Structure 1
Amino acid sequence: MREKLFLLAIFILLPLLRDIKAQNVDPSAVNVSTLSTSEIQQLISEMNKRGMSESEAIVLARARGMSESQISLLKQRIAEVKMGGGQANEVYSSDDAMYLNEDVLSAKAELDFTKVDSRIFGFSFFNNENLSFEPSVNSAVSPSYMLGSGDEISIDVWGASQQSYLLMVDRNGNINIPNIGPISIGGLTLENASQKIRSKLVLIYRDLASQTPRTFASINLGQIRSIKVNVIGEVFVPGTYTISGASTVFNALYLAGGPNPSGSFREIKLIRDGKEKAILDVYDYLINGNSNVNINLREGDVILVSPYLNRVVLEGELKRAGIFEAKQDETVGDMVLYAGGFTDDAYTHRLQLYRKTGRDRLFKDVLNKDLGNTKISNGDSIFVGKIIERLQNRVTINGAVYRPGDYELTQGLNLSELIKRADGLREDASMERGIITRVKDDFSLQSIAFNVSDVVNGNSDVAMKREDVIRISSIHDLREYRTVQIYGEIQRPDKYDFKEGMTIEDLIFEAGGFLESASDAYIEVARKLTVDEGSEVTDNMVHVFKMKVPRNLELENTEASFKLQPFDFVFIRELPGYEESAVVKITGEVAYAGEYALSSKTERISDLLERAGGITKDAYTEGAMVTRRVKISEKQKRLRLELLERDSTLEFTDLDFEVVGVSLTKALQYPGSRDDVFLKDGDEIYIPREIQTVKISGEVLNPISSNFIKGKPLKSYIWEGGGFGLSAKRGKVYVVYPNGSASGTKRFFFFRNYPKVTAGSEIVVPAKPYKDPLPASAWIAMASAMASVAVVISNINF
């Protein structure tokens, strides 16, 4: 019987439960597309009440023969209804409407809280998605649950006799047990109804009452009926709500949004059968966790939310600052309790109370001892301040003691005792003077000097006061930090700490020793003038000492070693004849190309070519190029930046080499001449093969490379490139020769003398600088000025 009713609820749906005599249900014949949205809603409600998930219901439907297409459509319809979709303007009978009103539970009202003061304590309690107070469909019902129309009673008999009953309490409060008849249980508690039903079952199962029964019965509550309650008064959405019969006052208030900004959390009345059943205080639940406040509801109950009693604002150093409601005769202490108490930084000695008198405002100091005696009035504001950052019993000692820091100021504490608490003085402590910085009564600072040695030896002492700061300096703190510096041909030239008894050999050793280029016979030490010498005005700046140091830094004659003093400067000179190895490179048409080390400072190009075996027969000496490495110092870089800031039109190349404009032909013909230059480290000589072309570039109509013809003038090459362009600057044509040198056009009266062209050279025709054309306004202004001049001239009387 139970299984058939369950299948009816799932596949014939709740509206058809009216005909509970239906015995045969064919799930495969159910057409989901013909079901209305209300019927789908009933299905979802029934599944929730029975604790069945959607997936479990689908599995059962498939096992009973429902087709996959209908199952897929059912899933879609359920999802649409849960998302708020479905068909609109559906029509159902009055009987259906009655059934829906009884079984479709009310949803939480949609509220707009943008204008609600969220500081009101308890507001979020009834508007929290995670806290609805809705009873679980699977949880056990209390024995005190009051039965009524619509409740479902499940009776299971087992043992010698076996039978199951699933009975619904009708409108008259009766259940009808076959072979027994109607039993009136409406208005009884579940416990009392169970006893009454059991007494009736004995009539047909007599073994239930024997001393050694073999038949047993279990009476439980199955489906719980829905009830209607009215929520009125100062709530967000007053009205009639359909809720589960096991619901409580808080569940109904949750659906209605709880008390509105004018509603009370301390005086919520439950009216039953026209009489006041109870007055609920939500604070008792929120503060003390008293669940007895949350009373179960019955059909027709009325929940009346009164206007708030007294409202108080609590701000400042409280754990739950906000707006609280106070009952009559409650005190400031009660409000602090509702606010969770004071924070760690709260100033609890005195609270500030601002009160509205009806005419103006009144300020009142509430001392801590009066919190429980000061009563609250409507509109009060209480502010709890913050403690000040002030220590009443602290002293501090810093400097040359073993444990500097803060210490407790005890009764009669002296400076000598404080030093002992700090584990005494360090060995480097300055014994002549210490300083106590004291805060006077007017918060100005006072400096008190003391002799550290006298205090430690007991010859004198100083009484400590609150916030005293004692400073005992180290001897190193009272003088300039002492260093020595070493420069020149040394591994690690730098500044080093000075040590007593430090010699020049010690410093050289600490700096990593000599470089190979260092001269051990010419070392200078520059020493500052003494204090006495500096007190007189002279031309002297430093004392200079010259000496020789063993290159291996041997320890012989250590007593005669030169001892350094603080702030000495040591200079290690370079050997007079020392030169770094210089390497040059020669490539191209030579017998033995590659890198060569310069044998002397006076080695020339001709000398290097002789060492390289001379040039080959294909060498083109006129096109030979000599480049030299260029090193740009940081000073030059900074100077370039300064020049660019002054003149943005300047340009600097980032190349790390430059071309040396010499003629290799003349250098080989006339060794030692001006073109046969001395070579330097990093120089490169490139000797190409003879080049048979001339390149024409720049402002010509067709830049090309043309065959070189000896004696052919420069203009002929330009005409081969199509001639000059419109913006060509003819008087500035120049030729760049293969060796990197260049020659420009010379002018004699109205004649231009173009430079000679050689094989492999490049003819460059520069462009005229671009000039912005004058705007129309400038031409108009000029015409106006000329007209004015003409008028003036015409008026002159000759």
Structure 2
Amino acid sequence: MSCYAAPTPTPTPTPTPSVPFSATAGQTLPAYNPIADSTLRQNPAANVQSANIVPCSSGDGSPFQRLVCDSLGHMLPIYGENLLNFAAASDVEVSADYPVGPGDELLLKVWGSVDLSSRLVVDRNGAVFIPNVGNIPVAGTPFGQMNNVIGKAIAVYYKDLKIAISMGQIRSIAVYMTGMSKVPGRLMVNSNSTLLNAVMAAGGVGPQGSLRKIELRRMGQLIGTFDLYDLLLKGDKSKDLRVQSGDVIFVPPVGPQVALLGTVKQPAIYELKGGESAHDLLLLAGGETILNRAGLVQVEQIKDRKIRSAKTVQQADLATFKLSNGDILKWTELSLEYSGVVNLRSSLGLAVREAWTPGMKVSDLIRSPDYLLTPKYWANLNQGIFTAAQAGGEQDKQIRTLTQQVGQEINWEYASIQRRDPKTFVATLIGFNLAKALQKDPKADVELQADDVVTIFTRNELRAPAATQGKFVTIEGEVAVPGVYQLKANETLQDVVARAGGVTDEAWIFAAELGRESVRVQQRKSLNEMADEMEAAALELQSKTLQNATMLTGGDLAAKGQSALGTAVIAKIRNTQPTGRIVLGVAPDASELDLPDAILEDGDRFFVPRKPSTVVVAGHVFNRNSAFLFNSNKTLADYLNMAGGFKEGANQDQVYVMRADGSIMGSNNKGWMSGNALNQRALPGDTIIVPQELDKKTWVKGLMDWTQILSNFATGIAAISVLGD
């Protein structure tokens, strides 16, 4: 004989009180989102995917639940069905009036002249046995009197004793769950259980069962009934009945049912006892929520068991409106509309509603510019200060933080008013100059209407004209006041250098560097394209060499060496970081007045160095990468000789010089130094590069000339790092 285990209740879908009443039949809708709902109304074709609608399952729930689902688009729980699995009967505390019977266990403790601790089990004859005392009849004795009964029996044999008795294991009894119980059948519960304990241990009442009139029958007689709503709604279980072995608990079929949803505190399907009004049912649901909209209640009914109808009932008439089986009532939600207000908002954390008054203008709503500086604005500013402080010497990061802060500033040139027509609900947009409005300019200080929404923008949110955008350049090196300067409209390099106080006496304009991010990006792209082209051609040449080779000859070994060299050059090209430098093209003796009238861009960096005092020789010479003090009387050839001259394998016909201004000097249209060109005077900062001689049959000559490589590097030390080795 096995004890019945209560099943795990099936989770009930959470009701969605604010789903539109006219939802499509057979669909489950998510919780209402007014913003998403507005989007769906504007784009009805996107409804299904955006709302994530799931069809109602025709196999779940009671017939009335499925009817409600077909009407509303989502399942509604039956009130109380998920509130009954509180505790098993074994957890119930033994009361003082509990009649002890066969199978019960008593825990006895005796102290005084004798110490005793014993577990006493009531036998089939209704007695417990205590050594040296004998059998003591206890069957039928209320548990609250057990101390007196056993105490008197022991006192006959022992004096000056104290005893304490508690209940151990309680005997199990069989009761029978019948009718519309969730799982009908024989159920084992402890003998201290009540009707409610048994119903909870059995997992509750089935979806077709009644919660309002559960019957307890004993020996064919009706002992009493229990309304579970008394417990669920009032916390009253005074009418609960104790069960005995062999009792039958009968769950009758569910009575009339009515569905409540919308802005009530407990949306669900409720069972009627009969004669209740809509107001009575509202009280069962806990009343209306604060979101309820005063006015009408929508009602759907089954008419003459033939068709379904719909109507509305005034909330004031709910007390006299009698309910019928199958009614569906929906309390409507409070409108999200604000009446008689104007709204002010911005991405800087501004969200304000103020009362509208006739004749109110923008300047009345925004009393001063400080009104727009919200805590979020100051938090952004403070975070920028903190970020710049953390950057320490990282100038790029500090400048980037500065420009970001400028982008978060208020756009004073433009703001907007969103206005909705109260009759057609069509929205229009009115733009105005915010700065002029706050100065009460009649053309910009627009008169507001009720429900207007005024939006303030930042400079990051709208692309303002280039002349009004915050642009910054960095001026460094040999200038009077190095710093970060905000550009004015169409300001040139000469203009900004003049604002920086001009150059110092140590400045060398010829070698000045103008770096630009857009140029750096283009240089990086050119380098990548060149490396890809060289790599593809090198692989093709290697493949042809392998196809034509029958044995590894000396020439093949040389070709393999050249191939390895090419691979290294390609790798260096890929890893080289271009500078974005623009060659200014001024003469070696140029002054700041000779700087080009170039319009600067946001993020440009201009560096004016001191005149260097060295000339560098790199590449295939005996004393490679040597730096020599500049002497205005020496030629390029002199410095090559000072570096030890050409090593074996040097390409003497293709020597080139990189000037301090970033340009590459040559004597012919290919850009190479040759013959008398090396007899030219050297300039401070010159870098003379001597390439290695390469076999004209190898991949380099088959791919491109060194001139092409240099042109792709554009300017700067990048070419030296690749070709100077």
Please give the TM-score of this superposition, normalised by the length of structure 2.
0.51
Query: Residues 174 and 182 of structure 1 are in contact (CA less than 8 Å); yes or no, is this contact kept in structure 2?
Result: yes
Q: How does 1:148-547 map to 2 (within 5 A)?
A: 148-153=101-106, 158-159=111-112, 167-174=120-127, 185-191=138-144, 204=156, 214-292=160-238, 294-339=240-285, 341-343=287-289, 345-357=291-303, 358-396=305-343, 405-409=352-356, 413-415=357-359, 423=367, 439-444=421-426, 466-468=450-452, 481=468, 495-496=486-487, 508=497, 511=500, 513-514=502-503, 516-517=507-508
CA separation of 1:602/1:485 partners in 2, compared to 1, >3 Å: closer, same or farther? farther
1:107 maps to what in 2? 5
Change (3 A) 1:414 1:200: same
- CA drift of 1:470 comes to 7.3
Structure 1 or 2, whichever has the larger Rg, is 1
| Mapped contact 2:178–2:251 kept (Cα < 8 A) | yes
Shift, 1:348, TM fit: 4.9
Q: 1:179 to 1:391 in 2, by over 3 A?
A: same
* 1:249, distance to aligned residue in structure 2 (A): 2.7
Distance 2:624 2:122 in 1: 120
Q: Deviations over 1:555-586 (max 9, x none)?
A: xxxxxxxxxxxx9x9xxx999xx998884415
8 Å Cα contact 1:625-1:660 kept in structure 2: no
Match of 2:78 among 111, 120, 125: 120
Distance in 2, Cα, partners of 1:262 & 1:672: 110
Matches within 5 A, 1:582-593: 583-585=615-617
Q: 1:184 to 1:302 in 2, by over 3 A?
A: farther
Counterpart-to-counterpart distance in 2, 1:302 and 1:162: 45
Distance 1:222 1:417 in 2: 81
Asked if 2 retains the 8 angstrom alpha-carbon contact of 1:282 and 1:293, the reply is no
Aligned to 2:233, the other structure's residue is in SS state: helix
Q: Is the Cα–Cα contact under 8 Å of residues 617 and 689 in structure 2 kept in the other structure?
A: yes
In structure 1, distance between residues paired with 2:416 and 2:183: 76
* Bigger RCO (CA 8 Å, 6+ sep): 2
Q: CA deviation at 1:346?
A: 4.1
CA distance in 2, matches of 1:176, 1:574: 107
Measured in 2, the distance between the counterparts of 1:497 and 1:663 equals 42
Consecutive unaligned residues in structure 1, runs of 5 or more = 1-100, 208-213, 520-550, 553-566, 632-656, 699-733, 742-798
CA contact (8 A) 2:437 2:446 kept: no
CA contact (8 A) 1:105 1:226 kept: no
TM superposition shift of 1:242:
1.9
Counterpart mapping for 1:556-705 below 5 A: 583-585=615-617, 594-596=626-628, 603-605=635-637, 607-612=638-643, 620=648, 624=652, 626-628=654-656, 672=676, 681-685=686-690
Equivalent position amino acid for 2:298 in 1: Q
SS of equivalent residue, structure 1 residue 125: coil
The Cα offsets for residues 157-199 of structure 1, whole Å up to 9 and x where unpaired, read as: 5545777776544445455778988766544432356555566
Q: Secondary structure at the match of 1:283?
A: helix
For 1:602 and 1:325, locate their aligned partners in 2 and report how far apart those are by CA, in whole Å.
110
Describe the superposition over 1:202-259 as per-residue Cα deviations: whole angstroms up to 9, x where unpaired. 6x3697xxxxxx4445454444221111111112321112221223334322443322
Shift of 1:439: 4.2
> Identity of counterpart residues, as a percentage?
24
Match of 2:90 among 116, 120, 135: 135
Amino acid at match of 2:104: D
User: Do the aligned residues in 1 keep the contact of 2:113 with 2:158 (CA within 8 Å)?
Assistant: no
| Cα contact 1:393–1:466 (8 A) shared by 2 | yes
- Partners of 1:271 and 1:277 within 8 A in 2: yes
The 1:377–1:593 alpha-carbon spacing in structure 2 relative to 1, beyond 3 Å, is closer
Distance 2:235 2:473 in 1: 79
Change in 2 beyond 3 A, CA 1:589/1:487? closer
SS in 2 for 1:307: coil
Distance, in Å, in 1 between the alignment partners of 2:301 and 2:177 is 34
Deviation, structure 1 residue 382: 2.6
- Give the 3-state SS of the residue equivalent to 2:333 in structure 1: coil
Describe the shift of the 1:580–1:356 C-alpha distance in structure 2 as closer, same or farther (beyond 3 A). farther
TM, length-normalised to structure 1 = 0.47
- Give the total of aligned pairs: 487
Amino acid at match of 1:298: Q
The one-letter code of the counterpart of 1:395 is: V
Contact 1:350–1:365, Cα closer than 8 Å, also in 2 = yes
Q: Is the 8 A contact 2:343 2:452 kept in 1?
A: yes
Judging changes above 3 Å, is the alpha-carbon distance between structure 1 residues 518 and 405 closer, same or farther for their aligned structure 2 residues?
farther
Q: Distance in 2 between matches of 1:308 and 1:686?
A: 99
Asked if 2 retains the 8 angstrom alpha-carbon contact of 1:435 and 1:472, the reply is no
- Taking structure 1 as reference, are residues 601 and 336 closer, same or farther at Cα in structure 2, changes over 3 Å only? farther
Deviation string for 1:322-366 (max 9, x for gaps)? 433333233434444554555554435433221122111121323
